[in-house]
Chain A
Amino acid sequence: MEPILLARIQFAANISFHILFPTITIALGWVLLFFKLRYVGTKNEAWMDAYRFWVKVFALSFALGVVSGITMSFQFGTNWPGFMEKVGNIAGPLLAYEVLTAFFLEATFLGIMLFGFKRVPGWVHTGATFLVAFGTTMSAFWILVLNSWMHTPVGFEMRDGVAHATDWFAIVFNPSMPYRLSHMLTASGLTVAFLLAGISAWRWLRGDRAEGVRLGLRTGIVMAALLAPLQIVLGDLHGLNTLEHQPAKVAAMEANWETRGNVPLVLFALPDEAARENRFEIAIPNGASLILRHEAAGVVPGLNQFEGNHPPVAPVFFAFRIMVGIGVLMLLMGWAGAWYLWRRGSLPKLMLRGFVAMSFAGWAATLAGWYVTEIGRQPWLVTGVLNTAQAAGPLPASSIGTTLAMYLVLYTALMVAYIATIFRLAHAGRAADKVDGVMLKPGSAPGDATRDKMGEELTA
């Protein structure tokens, strides 16, 4: 295979693996702060039970995010040296600010959040939880600023073929940044909502009726019911923003081959790039024109306007449908779950199983969404400034292939271990609930601290 293709697969594999874990930790940090504050406010031990269980999931996810993130920081340079040569003057400071304002903050206070409960006053522990959540969100902010700038670059000038910053405010608040950031933060919220609901439902189905489990389930469902509709609105706004700045991407998302009015909304098709048409198309007449232009006759740009300079159609088209499909399913599940909770106070078994099945649905939707936006940016790495092919490095295919194989084996093994560990923690949560006291080793299960002692220290 070509080195550039291998470099792209390797980078995509790495960043896909990496993004799974920040997607959990960004929102789970705030959920943990919520649990902690509810505990402080209500003195209800169940909130602390929920905190103790989910902080372990957080710690595990955070560790996987850190180690795969370190790999990322090296691959920026090894896989795409042309990126730093051409736009390093803009990407560099943004990445540096991420390390300085976010990484150290989260990594340092994570220690206190995880292991400091008995060593610091209660408010310091709550403060550490806040700073970790804040740090993960800051990290998301800077990296999405950079990513958005790559989609919609502004605030710079080219001198001798190298980008130089002219307006940092414009760079940071570039046109697609607010949409991408809010879309991603909400995606994180939804991912965590379904993880909370799914794992709690799994524990509930297995007969674990602890109040902490019920609170986790309730928190997850309420989050899902609130965030799913918000995400659909944000996604629509993001789409309109993309239409304005990257029309080729939208044309690929809709598999719209010709610029015209009355464009149908394609529900399913097999886009054929050679023939430049869709096969087996099922479509709603005027749908795309209505969504994108808010009138049936609205003219929507087609791929013919960008021939030879647009992204591959099929992956963008399908990834978009997967993302939207999961999003709609999330809305239905979230609202149905909330309705049952509100009306009946509990969920039917079938619905609980549905939530278990959707425990990691947020991951699938987030990845699909990122594939839409990143593949949709091709053939550009930085829109209008730098081609992906121009940024590739001098490494031979054999080196990249070898390391790619290493990473793939590693990531597959870690993924299996991660999911197995989460379910085992959920399983162990029950057994440990009955034991009061002892087991204070790192290997011990959640819920096993001396409760009264903890209460004392918190009030002290």
Chain B
Amino acid sequence: MTPFLPGDWLPMIFAGLMAVAILAYVVLDGFDLGVGILLETVAEEHERDRMIAAIGPFWDANETWLVLGVGLLLVAFPVAHGVILTALYMPVAIMLVALTLRGVAFEFRAKARDAAHKRRWDRWFFAGSLISALAQGWMLGRYVLGFAEGWAALGFAVMAAIGLAIAYAFIGACWLIWRTEGALQAHAIAWARHALWPVALGILLVSAVTPLVSARIAARWFDWPGIVMLAPLPILTALLVFGLARLLARMPLAEDAWHDIPFWGGTGLFVLFFAGLASSFFPYVVPERLTIWESASAPESLSIILAGAIFVLPVIVLYTVFAWRVFGGKARDLTYY
């Protein structure tokens, strides 16, 4: 089979697809991991049940985006996959164990023998969610600094780990504002308020560090014409943070108006942050080491995947929207039938 596009384009398209998959994963599994992190902050069992119910129909499909993201890295950029996953071997293994615990805790808690067992699975659910988030943040921190060694780099990774866990807790709280009501919603609003500023600080920190460690990235952001092209990202981020802070300060509004806006605003923050990182690192898939062209698979193979993806991805989006509509509105108790 011959490629139906110029060979240079395919790696670009796949880098774009992979970025979309990873972004979708971070937002989507981010909110359900965040709800897991917040699970131990509520005291009432029925509220925990409601929190779980708010993510129950979604988490499985959300996690599939991780498989797609890593799968695309594996099949489209196999060399980069090897470098990245070898460098991140231990945090990846820890994340996998944590994700496993969380995924099964969801099922086991729903089928627990008694309240004590259910409580024990709650704790596993919380621990699995938190450790997954920390491990992913650690990986982000290591990746951003190009897997640099030394205490400063490790310190940065620790901060990135904590930062991402707080960011997940934030978007999880925003999801609960949308999907719950009453005392639980008030609790979520309080958490979203608390978490917003650390999230903003984290974004600021990563934005400050990346140009400091790489002259190439600094030049891209601060030299002409990059400074104009990229200026909207920080400006929009700042506006969004202050807008969200004002909105959260006044919530809940009468008749639960705008209850979904914090979640979409939080999603906006994730998208802007991700766009900023992508602008910094493009065209590298391993920072400062491997470009997307250097690590891409053969064009024939990429084009046969693309041919399928063009038909299938819109269908996936369609039925995902359908499932979201079926489970729209405030979370009700989950029943199997």
Contact = CB atoms under 8 A, between A and B. Distances in A.
Interface in A64-94: 64, 66-71, 73-74, 76-78, 81, 84-85, 88-93
A158 to B, nearest CB: 12
Contacts of B297: 88-89, 92
A89 B178 CA distance: 44
B58 interface: yes
Given A84-B74, A165-B300, A410-B100, A74 B92 contact: yes
Given A67-B103, A76-B74, A84-B74, A56 B64 contact: no
Given A74-B96, A104-B61, A394-B86, A92 B333 contact: no
B336 A120 contact: no
Contacts of B66: 70
Most A-side CB within 10 Å, residue of B49, B90, B101, B298: B298
B74 A442 contact: no
A64 B104 contact: yes
A67 B66 CA distance: 11
Contacts of A62: 60
A55 to B, nearest CB: 6
A446 B323 CA distance: 24
A446 B85 contact: no
A116 B57 CA distance: 9
Nearest to A78: B85
A96 B58 CA distance: 22
A78 B92 contact: yes
Interface stretch (A106-114, A200-208, A381-389): A106-114
A425 B70 contact: no
Nearest to A407: B97
Interface in A396-444: 399, 402-403, 406-407, 410, 414, 417, 421, 424-425, 440-444
Contact of B104 (A52, A67, A103): A67
Given A93-B301, A104-B61, A112-B57, A410 B89 contact: no
B336 A55 contact: yes
A67 B29 CA distance: 14
A101 interface: yes
B312 interface: yes
Contacts of B63: 66, 70, 107
A55 B107 CA distance: 12
A449 interface: yes
Nearest to B103: A67
B183 interface: no
Interface in B258-312: 297-298, 300-301, 304-305, 308-309, 312
Interface string B198-227: 000000000000000000000000000000
Contacts of A446: 336
A393 B86 contact: yes
A110 B60 contact: yes
Given A109-B323, A168-B1, A393-B82, A403 B90 contact: yes
Interface in B93-137: 93, 96-97, 99-101, 103-104, 106-113, 118
B35 to A, nearest CB: 14
Contact of B334 (A112, A115, A165): A115
B41 interface: no
Given A77-B82, A96-B305, A99-B71, A443 B49 contact: yes
Contacts of B70: 73-74, 77
B53 interface: yes
A232 interface: no
Given A95-B71, A417-B108, A403 B93 contact: yes
A100 B313 contact: yes
A402 B64 CA distance: 27
A245 interface: no
Contacts of B99: 67, 70
Given A403-B93, A414-B104, A443-B118, A103 B78 contact: no
Contacts of B101: 410
B82 A164 contact: no
A159 B215 CA distance: 39
Contacts of B316: 100, 104-105, 108
Contact of A100 (B57, B74, B312): B312
Given A64-B104, A93-B304, A114-B57, A103 B111 contact: no
B83 to A, nearest CB: 9
A100 B56 contact: no
A454 interface: yes
Contact of A424 (B72, B75, B110, B113): B113
Given A84-B74, A99-B71, A164 B300 contact: yes
B228 interface: no
B336 A115 contact: yes
B67 A99 contact: yes
A78 B86 contact: yes
Contacts of A92: 74-76, 78, 297, 301, 305
Contacts of B304: 93, 165, 168
Nearest to A83: B78
A6 interface: no
Interface in A440-458: 440-444, 446, 449, 454
A425 B93 contact: no
A112 to B, nearest CB: 6
A344 interface: no
B336 A117 contact: yes
Interface string A269-298: 000000000000000000000000000000
B103 A109 contact: no
Interface of A: 48, 51-52, 55-56, 59-60, 62-64, 66-71, 73-74, 76-78, 81, 84-85, 88-93, 95-97, 99-101, 103-105, 107-112, 114-120, 162, 164-165, 168, 393-395, 399, 402-403, 406-407, 410, 414, 417, 421, 424-425, 440-444, 446, 449, 454
29 contacts: A52-B336, A56-B336, A60-B111, A70-B96, A81-B78, A88-B74, A88-B301, A92-B301, A96-B308, A97-B305, A100-B68, A101-B312, A104-B61, A105-B319, A107-B60, A108-B316, A111-B56, A114-B336, A115-B334, A116-B57, A116-B327, A119-B327, A394-B86, A395-B86, A399-B89, A414-B100, A414-B104, A424-B113, A444-B335
Given A67-B100, A73-B71, A97-B305, 9 more contacts: A71-B100, A81-B86, A92-B301, A99-B64, A164-B300, A403-B93, A410-B97, A414-B104, A425-B111
